[in-house]
Amino acid sequence: MNITFRQMKLFLALADLGSVSAAAKALHVTQPTASMQLKEVSQSVGLPLYEVVGKKVYLTDVGKELASTARSIAQSWGAFEQHVDAVQGLSRGQLRVAVVSTAKYFMPKLIGRFCKKHPAIDVSLEILNRDGVVGRMRDNMDDLYIMSLPPLDMDLVDVALMPNPIVLITAQTDPLTRQSGLALQDLGRSRFILRERGSGTRMATDEHFRKKRFRADVRMELGSNEAVKEAVAGGLGVGVVSRHALHGLQREHGVKVLDVQGFPLPSAWHIVHPAQKKLPPLATAFKSYLLQEVQGRKGPDR
């Protein structure tokens, strides 16, 4: 097979972005040029690599394998470039980080401070739910991953970053806010607004409820902390969120933290990456920065 490195990068962009036009734009070539180059890649492999259905690209099994190979090659080359830069005393290159959605309340500020120290670097930050982050980690798409409850079925390098307390909230007008030391069973008649199944917050909540033999009357399952807070503020029920979603406060935007026995639930943010992955110098520097910045300050600035 005769595939150039640039053609491989183009195919990887196609796999990641899902369209020929987007891949062409990412690599700064015209769409006809991109189409011709991708056709040459397929001809070189000798098997179909993708098909287009309704203007959307779907990779074949061989195409998925090529994308995985191309990603490994691109990451290895990027690590080599960073190694050369490190030897020269420079700090440039691209840092790829994927974080769960609740981490968006503090990670951008931390990344911003890191970028001020290293202005020549580029950062790719993906913000997804837990399942999305785990999926990217299984596909080795990023350098580092920030989440709570890392998957147990993967061999990971796992370092606890900082606490991630999980709290119960209700509308500020709810009479429950005037009570202290509530037992979980006191909420037996309340309707609950929970995150979607598979999120770290939901997994920790379900496990706690199971241990306490508490059956929550779930009114809604929502895909973001903002949606949970809005529903709770509207009087639709009791919500469960990370305290980071409230920016560390006891009350915010019409909701207030309830004083319930067993809460906040103990949880933590983790920095993880596959154990077999050799971190490039920039990712290693960012990991050290996070640990020093967060643990040295006992948490991120708010």
Q: Which domains does the chain have, with CATH numbers?
A: 1-90 (1.10.10.10), 91-163+268-297 (3.40.190.10), 166-257 (3.40.190.10)
Here the tokens at position 215 are 């059956």
Separation of alpha carbons 199 and 208, rounded Å:
14
Strand intervals (E) in the chain:
50-53, 56-59, 93-100, 121-128, 144-147, 156-163, 166-171, 191-195, 217-222, 238-242, 251-252, 255-257, 268-274
Query: In the predicted model, is pLDDT for residue 156 greater than 90?
Result: yes
Report the interhelical angle of 61-87 vs 5-17 (nearest 10°).
120
Q: What is the pTM of this model?
A: 0.70
Given pLDDT bands bounded at 50, 70 and 90, which one contains residue 302? very low
Separation of alpha carbons 240 and 84, rounded Å:
47
| Sequence-separated (6 or more) residues with CB below 8 Å from residue 251 | 172, 257
Which pLDDT tens digit goes with each residue over 199-253? Answer: 899 999 999 999 999 999 999 999 899 999 999 999 999 999 999 999 878 888 8
In contact, 261 and 182? CB cutoff 8 Å: yes
In contact, 145 and 99? CB cutoff 8 Å: yes
